[in-house]
């Protein structure tokens, strides 16, 4: 289920703290904190101000963080024509790269480009994008990212019907004979995690719930406990 090799790959649910909600002046510290708390990967959001109404960080920042991170970095490209930048992000240290189905007209080509460069390849769906958008690529992806908010800003409210969408993605992947995990991103916290995990999510991206907390390390552990309890039930 893991996006990366290593002992954490046996975990039923993985935790990926999102740097979007961290203090951008202290990103190295945020990465170290996530490692100490037992997170499985770092989620690195890239926004271009066109595909989504915000601008964040890019290749130079990733390259710097990859030098100090003990965790794999999961790069989420919320940008138009992501194929223009995939190679640069992988060279800078991305262990996995997610592109949006809505952002490129050559989705199959981009997915296989990412894989040819040695990184894991994921496809993301915005809340209004139907699950059927995955039908022709489901057998090729290493994971699927279901957006549980509209992308662009951290701290948004979880969209409840995302649970049914995750179930639909899981069923589509099963029909394709794929065991690819489902990643979810947006409004994930100890309250929303149990339901989305029960629906089939295996990777939880959490930004504000972690870095907006007074104790981010404890927040990561609490999120894992909430997810684990859902699996146990």
Which residues have a catalytic role annotated? 45, 185
CA dihedral of 138, 139, 140, 141, whole degrees rounded to 10: 50
Instruction: Report which secondary-structure segment, H or E, holds 182.
Output: strand 182-185
Q: Using H for helix, E for strand and C for coil, what is the string for 107-125?
A: HHHHHHHHHHCCCEEEEEE
CA distance 113 to 209: 33
CA distance 141 to 180: 7
Q: What are phi and psi of 215, to 5 degrees?
A: -135, 85
Q: What are phi and psi of 158, to 5 degrees?
A: -55, 135
Q: What are phi and psi of 208, to 5 degrees?
A: -60, -35
Give me the residues paired with residue 185 across strands: 147, 205
With tokens 């930048």, the residue in question is: 85
Closest by CA position to 27, among listed 87, 68, 88: 68
Distance of CA 29 to the CA centre of its chain: 20
Give me the residues paired with residue 184 across strands: 146, 204
């Amino acid at each position: 289920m893991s996006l990366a090799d290593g002992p954490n790959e046996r975990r039923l649910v993985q935790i990926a703290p999102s740097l979007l909600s961290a203090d951008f002046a202290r990103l190295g510290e945020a990465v170290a904190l996530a490692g100490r708390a037992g997170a499985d990967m770092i989620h690195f959001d890239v926004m271009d101000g066109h595909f989504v109404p915000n601008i964040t960080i890019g290749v130079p920042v990733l390259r710097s963080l990859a030098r100090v991170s003990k965790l794999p970095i999961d790069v989420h490209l919320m940008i138009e024509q992501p194929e223009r930048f995939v190679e640069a992000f992988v060279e800078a240290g991305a262990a996995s790269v997610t592109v949006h189905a809505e952002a490129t007209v050559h989705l199959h080509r981009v997915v296989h480009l990412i894989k040819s460069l040695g990184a894991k390849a994921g496809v993301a769906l915005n809340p209004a994008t139907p699950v059927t958008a995955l039908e022709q690529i489901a057998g090729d992806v290493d994971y699927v990212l279901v957006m549980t908010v509209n992308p662009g800003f951290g701290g948004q409210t979880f969209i409840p019907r995302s649970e049914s969408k995750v179930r639909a993605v899981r069923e589509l992947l099963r029909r394709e004979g794929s065991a690819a995990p489902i990643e979810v991103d947006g409004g994930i916290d100890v309250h929303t995690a149990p339901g989305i995990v029960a629906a089939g999510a295996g990777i939880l991206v959490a930004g504000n719930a972690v870095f907006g907390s007074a104790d981010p390390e404890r927040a990561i552990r609490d999120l894992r406990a909430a997810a684990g309890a859902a699996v146990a039930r």
